[in-house]
Amino acid sequence: MRSKAELMNDLRTMLSDVFAARAAGETYGRLARAHGYVDGYMRALLETGLVEKSELLGLVAAERERC
């Protein structure tokens, strides 16, 4: 099983890709699909109890600020 740090790093990469695609003016369909993947990934992390909601909110805010 992968560590929590690895999973959070994957999420950070996915978020960065979504924010970069939005800034680049990617089409709605591609953005919607990417958002769906990120949402699903975050939901799985929450439902398995690996992370808390506050951790995810902090990660998203930090990544949004960075991009």
31 membership: H or E segment, kind and range: helix 28-47
Whether the pLDDT of residue 5 is over 90: the answer is yes
d(Cα 45, Cα 50) in Å, to the nearest integer? 6
Number of separate domains in the chain = 1
d(Cα 57, Cα 33) in Å, to the nearest integer? 20
Whether the pLDDT of residue 44 is over 90: the answer is yes
Domain that holds residue 52: 4-66
The model's confidence at residue 65, banded by pLDDT at 50, 70 and 90, is very high
Residue 60: left (phi > 0), alpha (psi -120 to 50), or beta? Answer: alpha
Could you report the per-residue pLDDT of 9-24, keeping only the tens digit for each?
999 999 999 999 999 9
**Rounded to two decimals, what is the model's pTM?**
0.89
